[in-house]
Amino acid sequence: MDLLNLLVIVIVFGLVFYLLWWLIGTIGLPEPFDKVARVLVALVAVVFLIGILTGSVNFPVLRIR
């Protein structure tokens, strides 16, 4: 059951990060701000995934028991 919860969390947050990435591209920010925004979204996504893989991110709200 924990693996299923982890999979749901990864899928949901992956969709959120993808929507943020798409929104930044759709808004059409000027060049330096666009690059900075994309780097920040990518950095937060990578740190979040590393946190999930190492077990340092905890989601007590999303636990189903």
pLDDT tens digits, 38-49: 999 999 999 888
Centre a 10 Å sphere on the Cβ of residue 20 and count the other Cβ atoms it contains: 17
pLDDT tens digits, 13-54: 999 999 999 999 999 889 999 999 999 999 999 988 888 878
Amino acid at 30: P
What's the rounded Cα separation, in Å, for the pair 11 and 24?
A: 20
